[in-house]
Amino acid sequence: MEIREDKIEEMIARDGMYVCTTSGISMKPMLRDRRDTVVITPVSGRLKKYDVALYRYKGKYLLHRVVKVLPDSYVFCGDNCITCETGVTDDDVIGVLSEVWRGEKKLNLDGAGYKLYYRCRTATFGMRRACRRLMGKLKSLIKR
């Protein structure tokens, strides 16, 4: 039995994977706060659009989706976010999402349902951002 609480990078390098429970709501509805388990594995080559990857960004570990692949960097965005992270390089990327467990059920990340989900989620980003901003303005008007 090995109990490890090393740095994530060390665990991935040593074990070829990192398993943890996600925290936060930035990847809702796909990943729920402190309920779903993810498996992160090392990246081979460059990431592709729609991949979900773990990376360092401004001193934090983030697990978000690639929404744009640029020659020297990536643009990431959480499925539930209205702002993106830009300028993330391959050096910042720690690993890529390989498995997701919801309780005892493993999600099929190769299935048509998942592909439809991430394409719709990414395509409706602008609309969601506009709605979220509109709701924010309405709330501030109501408070006045």
Partner 1 sequence: MKIKKGFVLRRVMGNYVVVAVGEASRSFRGMIKLNDTAAAVWKGIEKGLSTSEICDAICEEYDVERSVALADVEKVVSELTENGFITD
Q: Give the residues lining the site for partner 1 (CB under 8 A).
A: 1-6, 11, 15-21, 23, 34-35, 37, 39, 41, 98-99, 101
- Taking the least distance from each CB to partner 1, the nearer of 18 and 74 is 18
All residues at 6 or more sequence positions from 72 whose CB lies less than 8 Å from its CB, including other chains = 89
Task: Indicate the residue among 61 and 125 with the shorter CB distance to partner 1.
Answer: 61
Shortest Å, Cβ 113 to partner 1: 22
C-alpha distances (whole Å) from 85 to each of 29, 30, 91, 120, 129 are 19, 19, 15, 20, 15
> Among residues 102 and 119, whose Cβ is nearest to partner 1?
102
Residue number with CB closer to partner 1 (102 or 133): 102
**Distance of closest approach, residue 115 Cβ to partner 1, in angstroms:** 22
The helix (run of H) or strand (run of E) holding residue 119 is: helix 112-123
Least spacing, CB of residue 120 vs partner 1, in Å: 28
Distances (CA, A) of 92 to 59, 118, 137: 11, 23, 35
| Tokens, residue 129 | 């951002």
Neighbours of 78 (CB within 10 A): 23
Closest approach of partner 1 to the CB of residue 67, in Å: 27
